[in-house]
Amino acid sequence: MNILVTGGAGYIGSHTCVALLEAGHTVIVADNLCNSKAETIDKIKQITNKEVTFYKIDVTDEVALEVVFATHKIDGVIHFAGLKAVGESVENPLEYYYNNLVSTMVLSKLCKKYNVNKFVFSSSATVYGDNKVPFVETMNLLPTTNPYGETKAMSERILTDIAKVNPDFSVALLRYFNPVGAHESGVIGEAPNGIPNNLMPYITKVAKGELDKLRIFGNDYLTVDGTGVRDYIHVVDLAEGHVAALDKLTAGVHIYNLGTGEGTSVLQLVKAFEEANNIEVPYEIVERRTGDIASCYADVRKARNEIGWTAKRGIVEMCRDAWRFEKNHK
């Protein structure tokens, strides 16, 4: 299939482009590079030895995006493009609501106009809010604590409502848990600008000596050791989940958790990283971070049963691959 990948130069998008190309699909990327670099497109080509068509455009720009739809016979879209920094979304809600919602609406509109019926959307486990773990797709969503999370819940609703009145429209809402790691080549990975917000990129910067120590946000949660528990998923497994969802997509709306089903605490992840890479990660315990929940992990049965996908890579591979990329990356 010819797949339009919005945000394909980004962290998860680039790994998914590799997985799509390896599965025999053709990839067209639309990305405005607001949080990524054009050289990532070359790296995708380098890893796969395949061609990628790249448009440097903003997905909220309907006129620019329509050129892509008019030029290529697109069979499906995977919509990664979006802003994702939780704290920044609290500081600048309008930017987040505008970018993340308008992009989803413009893309849906063009899909309808050009008769593109397969739509895969990057959602997030954040839409479950502070539900009881493990999170199951049938749960009622709870309010998130930030505009970023709300844009994911709202985009899910927009796509669901569109599908209700367009019987041929096939939508996969993929709720990612905590993506970490990098392609095993060490060529592509996660390279956030500035000081990382997320745990794994923070750990790799500390291990590299660019940051002096990790600050662990709270050790008084009701968890195995008091630190927050998350379902870390290798980004290559996540990428493969998109290919599986796309291949199996049928009319209607299908929601899938993409996680491993395993919870890992902050301290357990730090220890696993130290052991996997034989390197020390100094840390201190500080106050809880506002908006954090104690535990978040997936019930993974639906994706396994319906799209035949399960995560294959464990915490050790996640830690090794994250570190390999960080060491290679300038």
Contact region with ligand NAD (CB under 6 A), list: 27-35, 223-231, 298-306, 307-315: 27-35
- Of the candidates 47, 253, 266, 318, which one interacts with ligand WQD according to CB under 6 A? 266
Number of residue whose CB is nearest ligand NAD? 10
**Residue 249 vs 296, nearer CB to ligand WQD:** 296
Q: Which of 102, 86, 318 is nearest to 204 (CA)?
A: 318
Q: What is the dihedral angle through the alpha carbons of 266, 271, 274, 276, rounded to the nearest 10 degrees?
A: -100
Contact in structure between 5 and 30 (CB atoms under 8 Å): yes
Using CA of residue 233, residue 235, residue 240, residue 244, what is the dihedral sign? positive
Q: Which of 80, 33, 73 is nearest to 239 (CA)?
A: 80
β-strands 264-265, 229-230: how paired?
A: antiparallel
Q: Indicate whether 268 belongs to the interface with ligand WQD (CB under 6 A).
A: no
Q: Indicate whether 81 belongs to the interface with ligand NAD (CB under 6 A).
A: yes
In angstroms, rounded to a whole number, what is the distance separating the alpha carbons of residues 49 and 8?
A: 17
Q: Residue 54 forms beta bridges with which residues? A: 29
β-strands 170-176, 118-124: how paired?
A: parallel
- Count Cβ neighbours within 10 Å for each residue of 221-242 and write b for 16 or more, e otherwise: bebeebbbbbbbbbbbbbbbbb
Q: Indicate whether 150 belongs to the interface with ligand NAD (CB under 6 A).
A: no
In angstroms, rounded to a whole number, what is the distance separating the alpha carbons of residues 242 and 122?
A: 9
**Residue 54 vs 232, nearer CB to ligand WQD:** 232
β-strands 118-124, 232-234: how paired?
A: unpaired
β-strands 229-230, 170-176: how paired?
A: unpaired
Residue 16 contact, options ligand NAD, ligand WQD, none, Cβ 5-8 Å cut-off depending on partner type: none
Residue 70 contact, options ligand NAD, ligand WQD, none, Cβ 5-8 Å cut-off depending on partner type: none
- Is there a catalytic annotation at residue 283? no
Q: Indicate whether 129 belongs to the interface with ligand NAD (CB under 6 A).
A: no
Q: Indicate whether 246 belongs to the interface with ligand NAD (CB under 6 A).
A: no
DSSP string, 15-40: HHHHHHHHTT-EEEEE---TTS-THH
Q: Indicate whether 265 belongs to the interface with ligand NAD (CB under 6 A).
A: no
Residue 2 contact, options ligand WQD, ligand NAD, none, Cβ 5-8 Å cut-off depending on partner type: none
Q: Which of 148, 176, 202, 232 is catalytic?
A: 148
Query: Between 3 and 22, how does the x/- string for binding to ligand NAD read (CB under 6 A)?
Result: ---xx-xxxxx---------
Residue 197 contact, options ligand NAD, ligand WQD, none, Cβ 5-8 Å cut-off depending on partner type: ligand WQD
Contact in structure between 322 and 180 (CB atoms under 8 Å): yes
DSSP 8-class letter at 83 = -
Contact region with ligand NAD (CB under 6 A), list: 25-33, 136-144, 205-213, 272-280: 25-33
Q: Indicate whether 145 belongs to the interface with ligand WQD (CB under 6 A).
A: no
Residue 33 contact, options ligand NAD, ligand WQD, none, Cβ 5-8 Å cut-off depending on partner type: ligand NAD
Binding to ligand WQD (CB under 6 A) within 176-235 occurs at 178, 197-199, 202, 214-217, 228, 230
Residues near ligand WQD (CB under 6 A): 84, 86, 124, 126, 178, 197-199, 202, 214-217, 228, 230, 266, 289, 292, 296
Catalytic amino acids?
A: 148
Residues near ligand NAD (CB under 6 A): 6-7, 9-13, 31-36, 58-60, 80-84, 99, 103, 122, 124, 176, 179
